Structure 1
Amino acid sequence: MIIDQDENTTIITQEKASIIELVKKIDILYDRFKNNNIIVNITKLDVVKLSDVIEFLQLSNKHRKAKHSFVIVANNASFDEMPDEIIVVPSMKEANDVIEMEVMERDLGF
């Protein structure tokens, strides 16, 4: 797991860990970046299944409830299968765009 900081966004890149291990590690280290927007980059996986994304749902809900963005980047996912409760995009550019839009919405009181 690689953790990078970019202004108010933490980018977590999955290297070799399984999705379950990655979620556990993020949960353990959560206090380090709980006040930032989070991008989880899992593009190194050959295929991203719905069950993989569901593993992040509890963490995503907790983070979004605290008024911060949580976005998963997965270029090998079937986006039609992804639940509406979690944001999954195919590229880092789109992840940053989503965060930018959500920050504007929060600033406007939405």
Structure 2
Amino acid sequence: MGAQEQEEDAAPSAEKKHQKTSKEVYFSVLPDRYEPLIEEAEEETPEERRRRKEEKKRKKKKRYKKYKKNVGKALRFSWRCLMAGLQSMASVYSTPVSAVSTVVTEVNRSTASKA
């Protein structure tokens, strides 16, 4: 019977942990002339707003200029690589097969004679 009593004691403690309770909520009535507090630092003059917008535009323009420069460099380099590859392919395809074998054997003979 001792084991059954322990199980019964454990069950109510588990139920107590999951009990739902209500929270106290406080309501207050606002006066008719309620004005929210506004700090003076939050208010800005039209001139300050214009200056802030110009600064933002200047930063954006500078960032775009940097991106444009980097993209331009990448495009120029890739175009150069593409053209070099196409030119080498064109030279390989345009030379006759007999001339290629002659040039290769001549190159091999000249390197062998130097050694």
Instruction: Tell me the TM-score normalised to structure 1 length.
Output: 0.22
Which structure carries more relative contact order (alpha carbon 8 Å, separation 6+)? 1
More helix by share: 2
Bigger radius of gyration among the two = 2
More strand by share: 1
